[in-house]
Amino acid sequence: MRKTGIIGGTFNPIHNGHILLAVYCKEKLNLDRVVFIPTYTPPHKSDKDLVSEVHRLNMCNIAVQNHVDFSVSDIEIKRKGKSYTFETLTSLKEIYPHDTLYFITGADMFLTLEKWKNPEIIFDKAIIAAVPRNSSDCKMLSSHYKNFLKPLGAKACILDEPVLSVSSTFIRENIDNYDLIKSLIDRNVYEYIVKNNLYKE
Ligand code: ATP
Ligand code: MG
What lies within 8 Å, CB to CB, of 157 at 6+ separation is: 28, 29, 102, 127, 128, 129, 130
CA 26 to chain centre: 14
62: how many CB neighbours lie within 10 A of its CB?
Answer: 19
For residues 103 and 47, the model is more confident at 103
Mean per-residue pLDDT over the chain, rounded: 95
Q: Who lines ligand 1 at CB under 6 A? A: 7, 9-12, 17-18, 21, 105-106, 108-109, 131, 133, 163-164, 166-169
CA 43 to chain CA centroid, Å, is 21
Q: Is the pLDDT of residue 171 over 90?
A: yes
- The pLDDT score that the predictor gives to residue 137 is 86
Q: Please tell me the number of Cα atoms within 13 Å of 14 on its side-chain side.
A: 32
Distance 109 CA to ligand 2 centre (A): 8
Neighbours of 69 (CB within 10 A): 15
Decide: 168 and 184 in contact? Cβ < 8 Å: no
Kindly list the distances between the CA atom of residue 125 and the CA atoms of 21, 68, 77, 113, 142, in Å, as whole numbers in the listed order.
21, 25, 21, 14, 21
Distance of alpha carbon 34 from alpha carbon 48, whole angstroms = 29
Kindly state the average pLDDT of the residues 98-107: 98
- The count of other CB atoms within 10 Å of the CB of residue 13 is 26
* pTM, to two decimals: 0.97
137-160 residue pLDDT tens = 888 999 999 999 999 999 999 998
pLDDT at 44: 64
Q: Which band of pLDDT confidence, cut at 50, 70 and 90, is reported for residue 136?
A: confident
What is the share, in percent, of the chain residues with pLDDT greater than 90?
89
* Residue 44 CA to ligand 1 centre (angstroms): 23
Report the nearest atom of ligand 1 relative to the CA of 49.
Answer: 3
> What is the average pLDDT across 54-73?
98
pLDDT range class, residue 119, cuts 50, 70, 90:
very high
Q: Domains along the chain?
A: 3-167 (3.40.50.620)
Instruction: Identify the pLDDT of residue 45.
Output: 61
Instruction: Give the whole-angstrom CA distance, residue 201 versus residue 197.
Output: 10
Ligand 1 nearest atom to the CA of residue 171, by list position: 2
3-state secondary structure of 54: helix
